[in-house]
Chains A and B, each alone.
Chain A
């Protein structure tokens, strides 16, 4: 059963702590993406990766970091430098060159 998994579904952290969100896909997709959604807003691109060991900044990369050591995995670290980390985070993947992206279920991060 192919798909994208994100864990955990809900995550709570204290301000000042780094936190890593997991994203795994078994669709054999080359490209992976991280988005953030805030209430009443669309999805904003944080980072994306078109191939293993390569990634690019999206529109709102400040305060975030990623790695792409394996094709299946694209973890996102929300660092203490991110000023407003509380949000719903979505991971997606796509076939290389295709516009259609397929999304995971999301992780809701709350930082207090």
Chain B
């Protein structure tokens, strides 16, 4: 049972435009959500997170939006840059999973075209 889903395996965006990566979850006990960026053969790096008490969190070019009623979150990157080309994972944690256990989506490969 995939509790965190990223339905788009890949996304291609023109440099300078907005990249929108989506993530859906099924477990209503999740109360904290994170986005990670991963380059090939490297470990993921933490990008941005959001608590369920918020609906938006911004950090520079990265903004995460949370729609609890739809159990959906999205990561916006604007403007997109070539260095943003990577695989992006969303992850969730919550009371039902134990405070420190993360459940990851399958990832979305983002390619920024010049």
B98 → chain A, closest Cβ, in Å? 8
Q: Assuming A41-B106, A48-B100, A48-B101, is B49 touching A99 (CB within 8 A)?
A: yes
A25 → chain B, closest Cβ, in Å? 12
- The answer for the CA separation of A31 and B101 in the assembled complex, in Å, is 10
The residue on B at minimum CB distance from A42 is B104
Instruction: Please indicate the chain A residues that have their CB under 8 angstroms from the CB of B104 in the complex.
Output: 35, 42-44
Give per-residue flags for A69-108: 1 if the beta carbon is below 8 A from chain B beta carbons, else 0.
0000000000000000000101010101111111111101
Q: Decide if A106 touches B41 in the complex (CB within 8 Å).
A: yes
Secondary structure class of chain A's binding surface, majority of residues: strand
Q: Decide if B100 touches A40 in the complex (CB within 8 Å).
A: no
B32 at the interface (CB under 8 A from A): yes
The residue on B at minimum CB distance from A97 is B99
Instruction: Please indicate the chain A residues that have their CB under 8 angstroms from the CB of B45 in the complex.
Output: 103
Instruction: Please indicate the chain B residues that have their CB under 8 angstroms from the CB of A35 in the complex.
Output: 104
Total chain A interface residues with beta-carbon distance under 8 A? 31
B32 → chain A, closest Cβ, in Å? 5
A63 at the interface (CB under 8 A from B): no
Total chain B interface residues with beta-carbon distance under 8 A? 24
Instruction: Please indicate the chain B residues that have their CB under 8 angstroms from the CB of A104 in the complex.
Output: 43
Q: Decide if B100 touches A50 in the complex (CB within 8 Å).
A: yes
B94 → chain A, closest Cβ, in Å? 9
- The answer for the CA separation of A4 and B42 in the assembled complex, in Å, is 12
A9 → chain B, closest Cβ, in Å? 8
The residue on A at minimum CB distance from B46 is A100
From the candidates A43, A45, A58, name the one contacting B89 in the complex (CB within 8 A).
A43
Instruction: Please indicate the chain A residues that have their CB under 8 angstroms from the CB of B100 in the complex.
Output: 31, 33, 48, 50, 94, 96-99, 101
